[in-house]
Chain A
Amino acid sequence: MLRLSRNPGADTAIKLAAVACAMFAFVFVVMVPLYDVLCDALGINGKTSDIAYTAVPAVVDTSREVKIQFIATNNDGMPWGFRPQVTQLTVHPGAATDTFFYAENPTNLPMIAQAIPSVSPSRAAGYFHKTECFCFNQQPLDGMASTEMPLQFVVDQDLPKDIRTITLSYTLFDVTTMAGGTIAAR
């Protein structure tokens, strides 16, 4: 057995202190990344992947129709106008579909926004692939300006048969003060 001190009490104490430090590190280097990995892998919380999906060649399943609903919400204190182009679309699994969200900054100051998506039912999150999404990046907008923010998605052919409606909800956050750039790192 490794002895770190001639005093057996101090030896035990040093080893236990190392355990305590390891547990502190465990929170940062294991629990946080593990949570993200698990949420991505299992689609928990309706979290969808935040990197673009690379389309695999697939047959469009014209025998099925899935209803896609869009919801746009502003986070607390976010003054932007934010709404989907259409609130509802009907698509076939496997078919790439384009739509956009409309955003306008009614203030006089340039601002930066970040949209966070969530899919409901959460079981569908793993089958809803975004090939292009404004939510992958922050959206800067000058004062009084407006823009159309594109979204392209494919619903997986393997989507469970009992899911006929998928709701995609975006919450728009004001990240102007969060020092643009650093936040996307996490």
Chain B
Amino acid sequence: MGDHHHGPAKGLSRWLFTTNHKDIGTMYLWFSFAMFILGGTFAMIIRAELFQPGMQLVEPGFFNQMTTLHGLVMVFGAIMPSFVGLANWLIPMMIGAPDMALPRMNNWSFWILPPGFLMLASTLFMEGGAPAFGWTFYAPLSTTYAAPSVTFFIFAIHVLGISSIMGSINIIATIMNMRAPGMTYMKMPLFVWTWFITAFLLVAVMPVLAGAVTMMLMDIHFGTSFFSAAGGGDPVLFQHIFWFFGHPEVYIIILPAFGVVSQVIPAFSRKPLFGYASMVYATAAIAILSFVVWAHHMYTVGMPVAGELFFMYATMLIAVPTGVKVFNWVSTMWRGALSFETPMLFSIGFLVLFTIGGFTGLMLSIAPADFQYHDTYFVVAHFHYVMVAGAVFSMTSAVYFWLPKWTGRMYNETMGKVHFWISFVGFNVTFFPQHFVGLAGMPRRVPDYALQFADFNMMSSIGAFVYGASQILFLYNVIATIVAGEKVSDEQVWDGAEGLEWTLPTPAPYHTFEVPPKIEATPAHG
């Protein structure tokens, strides 16, 4: 501890050895943006190949490597670490804590990520190529028929899993032990609440994923037969284990996004969040239900009818707490003094598009209808509406919202709005037509397609290039803000924003809340 007023260390060692939650948060955010660009590049290759029917640019095998790595990098490299970065920056500031509970473990959980992804990306240059079995890596595609690089993929997943587990343990330990006096659980901002629940989901299911890849490793190298019918195993078992992890994973990605939107919408509506308590309970309900719906991803494997019905009804039930949330956000805006700065635009974009994604999800939850939709572009459209327009839009909203507090400088509002509108239009041009080609029967994960899908696919590709390019504008805006943005004149930054982090000086000092703040006896705001 020693010197009370010391600032950050100088040079590279500041970043290598830092235990400061703000430094680690910053590294997570930059790392996830780099992964977002990498995964985006893979997506551009996919869309370029699909621009026209026929084989144009890449070999089918390489195309499969691209779809696989795109999914893996975006889920594990871009979205998840970005929200962990946000949690690092914001949770201590929101609950009045000086830092995370276990700062050294925090450093480690970040620094094992880059080697993990290096290992995953290096498979591209190995003999036999990168994993090409889809991000869901179903056995036996990922065991019997996989390229030798699959072993590196397995270890990469182990490393990312360990990083996530340590990160979430830290978040839970911080929230449980380091809240300022008077900051009761039901006074915590909703972003803290959603992360609290997400972290429990992570601790519960990341080990399941680790178990699945460990079984793959044993099947490939040590002669076991977990997923091989020849030795008494069953490939369908893989799907059950994978989706037992995979479905809670969907909520791991989206719950922190819900948290962000629950902070942003009240700020720009200048009203407290409508139905705070119901938001908390809805989040918990979604998390609990997420453990009993996994088989809706695998309706076509030949489950008994009773199983199909159970998973169908349980899945539909999730629409209830999710609907509670959507109505609460809309009610928050109702009769509010609304203004439409960039963060609010992205949050409203989230609200509209995520709801569309939720409805297509309901369509997919209907077991008999799913036999038609299964493995088509309709599914691709559905999960991009919830992953991109859900998680990524909300993350973008968060960056615009808190960047002035982090850096003390204001981003360029006009450029931000342009970024939003290009993203919004580009996103919809990309993914809306995919609903149609999917319903018409175009399968996912194919490098070539029937001629009748040509027009919609060209539209999709053009939209994807536009959406991709708009992220360069975002990067430019963020860098320009950090380097030469206009100084924030109002310490509070946003006049409607409430919460402990806004009571701090702007930019947020390196060390904050070394003396716990006094919590007013008012109810939670958002």
Contact = CB atoms under 8 A, between A and B. Distances in A.
A and B are interacting partners: yes
Most buried by A among B101, B173, B307: B173
Given A19-B203, A178-B223, A183 B230 contact: yes
B237 to A, nearest CB: 5
B206 interface: yes
B230 A173 contact: yes
A13 B237 contact: no
Interface in A108-166: 114, 116, 122
A35 B231 contact: no
B207 interface: yes
A42 interface: yes
Interface stretch (B208-216, B408-416, B437-445, B455-463): B208-216
A12 B173 CA distance: 6
Contact of B226 (A23, A24, A32, A45): A32
A183 B223 contact: yes
A23 B240 contact: no
A39 interface: yes
A35 B224 contact: no
Interface residues of A, number: 41
Given A9-B173, A179-B223, A45 B230 contact: no
Contacts of A50: 232
A23 B304 contact: no
Given A9-B101, A20-B207, A45-B302, A116 B173 contact: no
Interface string A161-179: 0000000000101110011
Contact of A186 (B174, B224, B240): B224
Interface in B176-193: 176-178
B246 to A, nearest CB: 13
B302 A175 contact: no
Interface stretch (B164-172, B264-272, B316-324, B487-495): B164-172
A12 B172 contact: yes
A182 B101 CA distance: 47
A35 B232 contact: no
A9 B210 CA distance: 25
Contacts of A56: none
B205 interface: yes
Dominant SS at the B interface?
A: helix
**Could you say which of B178, B203, B207 has the most chain A C-beta atoms within 10 Å of its C-beta?**
B207
B225 A183 contact: yes
Contacts of B204: 19, 23
B211 A24 contact: yes
B225 A23 contact: no
Nearest to B307: A44
Contact of A27 (B168, B211, B230): B211
Interface string B85-113: 00000000000000001100100000000
Contacts of A184: 231-232
Contacts of A178: 223, 225, 230-231
B169 A175 contact: no
Interface string B192-208: 00000000000111111
B233 interface: yes
B177 A9 contact: yes
Interface string B353-371: 0000000000000000000
Contacts of A182: 223
Interface string A45-73: 11100100000000000000000000000
A148 to B, nearest CB: 22
A23 B207 contact: yes
B58 interface: no
B423 to A, nearest CB: 36
Interface string A7-41: 01110110011011111101110011001100100
Contacts of B304: 42, 44, 122
A27 B241 contact: yes
A16 B169 contact: yes
Contacts of A13: 101-102, 105, 169-170, 173
B277 interface: no
A46 B240 CA distance: 17
B234 interface: yes
A90 interface: no
A31 B203 CA distance: 17
Interface of B: 101-102, 105, 165, 168-170, 172-174, 176-178, 203-208, 210-212, 215, 223-226, 229-234, 236-237, 240-241, 244, 302-304, 307
26 contacts: A8-B101, A8-B176, A9-B173, A9-B177, A12-B101, A16-B169, A17-B165, A19-B203, A20-B203, A23-B208, A24-B207, A24-B208, A28-B215, A31-B240, A36-B234, A46-B302, A47-B234, A75-B230, A114-B230, A171-B229, A173-B229, A175-B231, A178-B230, A184-B232, A186-B224, A186-B226
Q: Return the 4 tightest CB-CB contacts between A and B, nearest first.
A: A27-B211, A9-B101, A173-B230, A183-B231
Given A13-B170, A21-B207, A47-B234, 17 more contacts: A8-B176, A9-B101, A12-B169, A12-B172, A13-B101, A16-B168, A16-B172, A16-B173, A17-B165, A27-B208, A27-B215, A31-B211, A35-B234, A44-B307, A173-B229, A186-B232, A186-B233
